[in-house]
Amino acid sequence: MNTSDLQTVLSERFAAVKGRIAEACRRAGRTPDGVTLVAVTKTVSPAVAALVPPLGVRALGESRPQELWRKAEAVAGADWHLIGHLQRNKIDRTVPLVSLVHSVDSARVLDALNAFGQKRGAPVAVLLEVNCSGEESKGGFSPAEVPALGDTLAGLGGVDVRGLMTMAAYSDDPASARPTFARLRELRDQLRARTGLALNELSMGMSNDFEIGVEEGATLVRVGTTLFEGLGEDR
């Protein structure tokens, strides 16, 4: 597929996803400008990823820090989000490249990011990943751990905790994700009341369930397959 064809396909797919987000917002009594589409580029080449910002979608997401490093060098105009696990030994190279870390999944990572932010003199924007689905294969804080975090978050000057993130269990029925997303919203509201922090962001919903995420209050949806399926790179 040549560049012109890729641009056409991507433009059509992005328009369709934005339309679905807008319709989900209508159902929920929300405005679409309250939802950021994060285009997850982990399956495509830097050349394909570089076609996305000119389409008006600047938020790009990567799961692996090494892949984010590679694409950040090649893609102009992107606002990078790390959506996968961040090892502590990759913080120094990764954080300067990203606007938001969605996946702070343990107290150890949170403490390391706090130390990094204090050292550089600017807090790191983060979300706390919560395993609301209860799947053993998924990382993140357990819902039971979240309230206790409220006692320490306000004192962490090296991080700017902007909200929470979760992943629902995969299902052919998108509606099955609703309890997981509703639980994250409830935990955010409880943590907000306990800490006084704004915690405006909820990152929840992927290709198979992002509309349910929007209906339950998502401000960030992480969509990859729906946008990029069939456009994978030849490694």
- Report the pLDDT value the prediction gives residue 235, as an integer from 0 to 100: 41
pLDDT, position 137: 84
pLDDT of 102 > 90? The answer is yes
Q: Which is nearest to 64 in space by CA: 107, 103, 96, 37?
A: 103
User: In which band, very low, low, confident or very high, does the pLDDT at 233 lie, cut at 50, 70 and 90?
Assistant: low
**Environment class of residue 80 by beta-carbon count within 10 Å: exposed (0-12), middle (13-18) or buried (19+)?**
buried
Check residue 12 and give its pLDDT: 98
pTM value surpassing 0.75: yes
User: Tens of pLDDT along 20-53?
Assistant: 999 999 999 999 999 999 999 999 999 999 999 9
What's the CA gap between 171 and 179, in Å, rounded? Answer: 13
Residue pair 91/112 in contact (Cβ under 8 Å)? The answer is yes
Q: How high is the pLDDT of residue 60? A: 98
For the chain, domains (ranges, CATH) are 3-228 (3.20.20.10)
Q: 65-74, 214-223, 225-234 — which is least confidently predicted?
A: 225-234
Q: Is the distance from CB of 153 to CB of 190 less than 8 angstroms? A: no
Least confident piece of the model among 57-66, 99-108, 112-121, 142-151: 142-151
pLDDT > 80? residue 95? yes
AA identity, residue 216? E
CB 24 within 8 A of CB 216: no
Write down the pLDDT at residue 116. Answer: 98
Q: Where residue 234 falls among pLDDT bands split at 50, 70, 90? A: very low
Averaged confidence pLDDT in the chain: 96
Q: What is the pLDDT of residues 149-201, one digit of tens each?
A: 998 898 899 999 999 999 999 999 999 999 999 999 999 999 999 999 999 99
Core vs surface per residue 106-131: b (16+ CB within 10 A) or e:
beebbbbbbbbbeeeeebbbbbbbbb
Statement: residue 66 has pLDDT above 60 = yes
